Chain A
Amino acid sequence: MDQLAQQLVNGVLIGLVYSLLAIGLTLIWGVMNVLNFAHGEFLMIGMFLSYWLYVMAGVDPLFSIPINAVALFLLGMLVYRFIISKVMKGPALAQLVVTFGISIFLANFAALVWTPNFRSIEHTLLSGTWDISGLKLSIPKFVTSIGSVATSLGLFCFLKKTRIGKAILAVEMDREAAVIMGINTERINSLSFAIGSALVGVAGALLATHYYIYPFVGGSFGTICFCIVALGGFGSIEGAFVAGILVGVVQTLGGYIFDPAYKLAIVFIMYLITVWIRPQGLRGW
């Protein structure tokens, strides 16, 4: 019984990491209908950035969050400006393949310049585990989940309250109408791609506090994120947030109660049932 509660907590913690990764992905999809396969590799770049800042300048990953956000924002903008915006004019297949190409390039480029070795940050401000009457709560994982909630809320407020945020939502809902209303959609595309990347940069800094770092780490998170985006409804920020937690909990509890060998199968069955009942996903339209 104790283990069951423990697993529930663990599920929420990993679920919130998934949420943070998935909202960036879903934002990009929602605005420009581009599935960014390089999302996991952007995460990897974020993790490495935190790692190098820690090793070379002694910056704790917690403080590299803003640096990561800005750096990945710029990276996202450049990738959009010089690669994505070009293929947006081409056939749909080109859009699909190009981000896939970027992902392979980034992972292998990282392996080339930083070697494929594993790294981890040892003495961060966050380490250790709280023991709350038998319930184990990893401090770095807990702070990561708080960071995820805060970032998601921040994004949500930005989209609902600011002029630019409302413009992003407008483009997401109806691109043609937005153009007629005088919204510069090209700028909104670039901005959304950059914001989506910045979010994954934040996730990179948070994950760097307790996860191993290596060039192919993106792959461990990539596939599950697509599932979450689809489950939450393509383009829906709230949907992705809720779906992330849901997947985390179902995966962890399912693995514990049934068999860990089937934990991903359980997640995908849940996904299939959901799209069967609601083809647009939890919060899609």
Chain B
Amino acid sequence: MTIRRVLLVLAVFAMALALGAGSALAQQKVIKIGALYPLTGNLAATGLDCKRGADLAVEIINGNFDLNLPFAKGEGIPNLGGAKIEIIYADTKGDPKNGLAEAERLITQEKVVALIGAYQSSVTKTGSQAAERLKVPFVCSDSSSPTLTERDFTYFFRVSPHDGTMARNQFEFLKDLGDKQGKQIKSVALIYENTEFGANVAKMQQQYAKEFGFNVVSDIAYPANASDVTSEVGKLISAKPDVVMHAAYITDAILFTKTFKEMNLVPQGFLTMAGYIESDYLPTVKADGNFMTVRSTFALDLAKKKPMVGQVADLYMKKYGIPMGENTARSFTAPFVLADAFNRAKSTDSQAVVKALLETNIPGDQIINPWKGVQFDPKSHQNIHASAMLVQIQDEAYHTVWPFEAASRELKWPFPAWKDRK
């Protein structure tokens, strides 16, 4: 290396240091929250959705908006002198190992005072282990594996419903279908990707199927991100279930939908989740996604009953040019829950924040989700009000169809045969 090169490298280092010092000075009245999301890899599009939701939430908290959300009016967090929130993102690449390492890095090096994320339950599991060990609050509003809140962690809180609750909701729906609409369902087939998320969904579905008296005719685990799923669909066809219940992330959701059509699998209905409600699902499969029934904690038509949802959705549309979806709505809620805790704690000290989180009581009209509010169970730290509704894809858009009282469209049941479409 020549002297000139060495000097050049040194100069670049010096500039980087100067920049770092400059930003440290500017961050005096800033509260740093760390966010773990899969920003590259298979779930990069999902991670981007989540990031957008959290970004919009922070923009609303920091700025001045006329919305019925906590801290929308007036800038920053009032009890902390209008302090602003800044999110430091870390890329998990969708891998539990990185979830752990990045959580540690955010806490020890970036000095974040709380964590949000990480979408995939398997990654949230490891990330929250790091947070627990380093005594930093982790508020999760997007992972659904029940085991996460069964660990009785001190620093882990979950805003969104878990798969146990949502599996119960799905079977309540099937029962309702028989009781209220006379459409009797006897058998279900479970198909799920074999990581933390899918495997736990299936475990819960097995449990509730028994409780509600449905016959599970097939229980199929498959490796996620496969390049071909014809054998899985072949097994479903042979099992002849009334209802297919599928737990999948986005790549599998797209591939399965195409394969269902290609191999002509027509049960009475598909009860799906996660991948089927990502913002990329419908633009990719288009009309083939019609009549899928999806569990959800958000739908744009909630705006009919809660105008604030419409205002937030409009802001989102204006900022990103695409409609707000389920994942965005999930990650949107966590920053508000944390901001509310910081405000009541009048501090970002982790013990004070945990104490404030335990006393959280955000009313239902101040969140965009269709719940009665946010209040954590003192032991498990699960939001006791969280639940799921069901939406159905009709005319390439999601419409609330269950609970039947809250439906904005009538449920289309049974699932129309593929060949009769279009």
Contact = CB atoms under 8 A, between A and B. Distances in A.
A118 B227 contact: no
B358 interface: no
B45 A118 contact: yes
Interface stretch (B258-266, B292-300, B380-388): B258-266
A203 to B, nearest CB: 12
Residue of B42, B44, B222, B234 ringed by the most chain A CB atoms within 10 A: B234
Nearest to A262: B223
Contacts of A252: 228, 230-231
B205 to A, nearest CB: 16
A111 interface: yes
A107 B48 CA distance: 16
Contact of B228 (A10, A117, A120, A216): A10
A256 B280 contact: no
B286 interface: yes
B225 interface: yes
A129 B261 CA distance: 9
A81 interface: no
A178 to B, nearest CB: 36
B283 A220 contact: no
Secondary structure of the B side of the interface?
Answer: helix
A6 B45 contact: no
Interface residues of A, number: 41
Given A118-B45, A122-B286, A220-B226, A255 B232 contact: yes
B44 A259 contact: no
B41 interface: yes
B235 interface: yes
B311 to A, nearest CB: 26
Interface in A102-141: 107-108, 111, 115-120, 122, 129, 136, 138, 141
A281 interface: no
A129 B421 CA distance: 14
A260 B45 contact: no
B263 A136 contact: yes
Contact of B48 (A6, A115, A220): A115
A219 interface: yes
B250 A215 contact: no
A14 interface: yes
Given A117-B280, A212-B254, A263 B48 contact: no
Interface in B216-255: 220-223, 225-232, 234-235, 237-238, 250-251, 254-255
Interface in A189-231: 210, 212, 214-216, 219-221, 224
9 contacts: A6-B263, A7-B230, A14-B228, A212-B254, A216-B41, A220-B225, A220-B226, A255-B222, A261-B221
Interface of B: 40-42, 44-45, 47-48, 194, 220-223, 225-232, 234-235, 237-238, 250-251, 254-255, 258, 261-264, 280-281, 283-286
Given A111-B40, A138-B262, A248-B228, 14 more contacts: A3-B237, A14-B228, A14-B230, A115-B45, A116-B48, A122-B286, A136-B264, A214-B45, A220-B225, A220-B251, A254-B231, A259-B221, A260-B222, A260-B229
